[in-house]
A = this chain, B = another copy of it.
Amino acid sequence: MHPARPTGLPARPPDPRPDLSWWGWGDPALVPALPDQLRTLLAGELAVGGGLARPDAVDLPPPRLERAVFIDVVGSAQVLDEDEARLRHLRGKSTPDLLRLRLGDVSGVPDLVLLPGSHEEVFELLRVCSERQIAVVPFGGGTSVVGGLEPESDPFAGLVAVDVRRMNALLELDERSRLAVLEPGLRGPEAEALLAERGYTLGHFPQSFEYGTLGGFAATRSSGQASAGYGRFDELVLSVRVATPAGTLEAGRAPRSAAGPDLRQLVLGSEGAFGVITSLTVQIRPAPERRVYNGWRLPSFSAGLEVLRRLAQDGPLPAVLRLSDEAETALNLARPGELGSGGSGSLAIVGYEGPVESVELGRAGVGRALEAAGGVPVPGAGEGWAKDRYRAPYLRDALLDAGVLVETLETVAFWSSVPRVYEAVSAALRESLSAQGTPPLVLCHLSHVYPSGASLYFTVACAQSEDPVAQWGAAKAAASDAIHATGASITHHHGVGTDHRQWFELEVGLLGVEVLRAVKSRLDPAGIMNPGVLVPPAGEEEDAGFSA
């Protein structure tokens, strides 16, 4: 299908790669000390006291599975039963995930970790697991924040994590068509480095960029911070190859096609419930000549929404376009004294990536629009955002240590609903947590824009109660109810996992769920693939029957 491989392909990133810490986000050395100003704020505004301590070690139950049967498939070195390996594949990185580790809860830990090296090995592993009724959790970066790595393994003989880290090659590069064939285990920076050597970029920079993998980006419909310029990851994927228990599915053959329903779009967002993505063909672009990030202060969040809507609908559309509400602006600009006063206005971050000429043209056009809306430049804010863009999860580790319950959630809605969604979700979070005796800070930014709407990303912080997992569970449910009631989607880029399943079912309806279950039954007849993630277990709903 593609021309001969350029010299030097396949190519792989250098070994070893850094691991995420098992009890928090990435490199422990990067967990910051909390600034005094923030400590004062937390003590004063949120009455934060003590919280759950960082765990030293946890005890795991012995594995329920023998290594032998898998050694035949992938070799002894690729079948891990050590505690550390198992623990590193336990759940994801949501705040409840981290809190549960602080509580010593290791339920659902995989019995074994398997490291296949090829499509054929993945396929064979799935065949063995199907035969033996062993549940499988496909594992990429391990950065899920929606319970996407926590299958229901109870009725099964055991649970294995199939970690695709060894499948990390740049296989092909088609420069004329600007596409690359990549393996799913490549992390964001690894893929970018392999492409940069040849002058290209994917342009996909989500919060989880440093640890997330391409397979995970595809399986969860990840969206990068520069999505306005490069597109969401699901828009970058031209074709996928998937190993399922029932066989190999290859979807996507051309840039666009009218050959029936788009089966790629069944794989994208399937969250490991149908199979394991074993390679991806993705659109690439020349690495940008220039990257510029500017900060602007707009008079208010609502004034900012108007101008961002105009830019999304009539252009020029920069690569990055974000807008913080007044509360988030006050914190971001380190003016916590203005919290609640609205005096800080609303901070916009605007990023331009591409050829010098188009960057300058974009800056001029966007600048005119922002000035017309009363915007003023904020020197240093754009560069500051870019420098710290992957640091927020480290701050969470420090805040958890300090006794703060802090978590994020996100949604997406049509423009006409955005103000209503913003108000309803903020109110639901404030009401739920205040009723629990822990009034929160609720911050929000708009982070991805489209002609028809935009996403909203909320950050919530309050004092940890005695049972912070239940505390957050109640608040998240209230926010999710508000999202559904205002017509927004339960997720713009975090995915469904197990946490969002209840609202996902409301969103796609009983018949929509039944369609997904029919697909799953065909591809995964034994029901071993990430059971309970995305698709509810069979029998949990009634038949949709004949009802208009």
Contacts of A234 in B (CB 8 A): 262
CB distance from A282 to the nearest CB of B (A): 10
Q: How far is it, in angstroms, between the C-alpha of A333 and the C-alpha of B48 when the chains are bound?
A: 79
Q: Is the CB of A415 within 8 A of B511?
A: no
A507 within 8 A of B: yes
A452 cross-chain contacts in B, Cβ below 8 A: 177-179, 238, 255, 283
Pick from B127, B493, B521: contact of A258, CB under 8 Å: B493
B414 contacts A258, CB within 8 Å?
Answer: no
**Chain A residues bordering chain B, tally (CB within 8 A):** 101
In the complex, A368 has a CB within 8 A of chain B:
no
Q: Mark A451-475, 1 if CB is under 8 A from B, else 0.
A: 1111100000000000000000000
A250 sits at the interface (CB 8 A): yes
A416 and B450 contact, CB distance less than 8 A = no
- Nearest B residue to A233, CB-CB: B258
Residues on B with beta carbons closer than 8 Å to the beta carbon of A522: 514-515, 517-518
**Residue from the set A1, A223, A285 with the largest chain B CB neighbour count within 10 Å:** A1
Taking a contact as CB atoms under 8 Å apart, the answer to whether B523 and A261 are in contact is: no
Choose one: B119, B414, B507; the contact of A255 (CB below 8 Å): B414
Q: Which residue of B lies closest to A543 (CB)?
A: B246
In the complex, what residues of B have CB within 8 A of residue A257's CB?
Answer: 221, 412, 489-492
Q: How long is the Cα–Cα vector from A248 to B546 in the complex, in angstroms?
A: 9
Cβ–Cβ contact B518 & A521, under 8 A: yes
**Residues of B with C-beta under 8 A to A453:** 177, 254-255
Asked if B1 contacts A254 (CB within 8 A), the reply is no
In the bound complex, do residue A176 and residue B415 qualify as a contact, i.e. CB atoms below 8 Å apart? Answer: yes
A249-275 near B? 1/0 per residue, CB < 8 Å: 111011111111111111111110000
Q: Using Cβ atoms and an 8 Å threshold, which residues of chain B touch A108?
A: none
- B177–A414 touching, CB < 8 Å: yes
A234 to B249, CA, bound (A): 23
**B246 & A544 in contact (Cβ 8 Å cutoff):** yes
Residues of B within 8 A of A493 (CB): 258
A120 within 8 A of B: yes
Distance in angstroms from A180 CB to nearest chain B CB is: 11
A2 interface residue per 8 A CB criterion? yes
A168 CB contacts on chain B under 8 angstroms: none
Q: How far is the CA of A45 from the CA of B258 in the complex (A)?
A: 34
The answer to whether A94 has its CB under 8 Å from any CB of chain B is no
Q: A residues bordering B, Cβ < 8 Å?
A: 1-3, 119-120, 123-124, 127, 174, 176-179, 220-223, 232, 234, 238, 243-251, 253-271, 283, 285, 309, 313-314, 355, 411-417, 448, 450-455, 487-496, 500, 504, 507-512, 514-519, 521-523, 534, 544-548
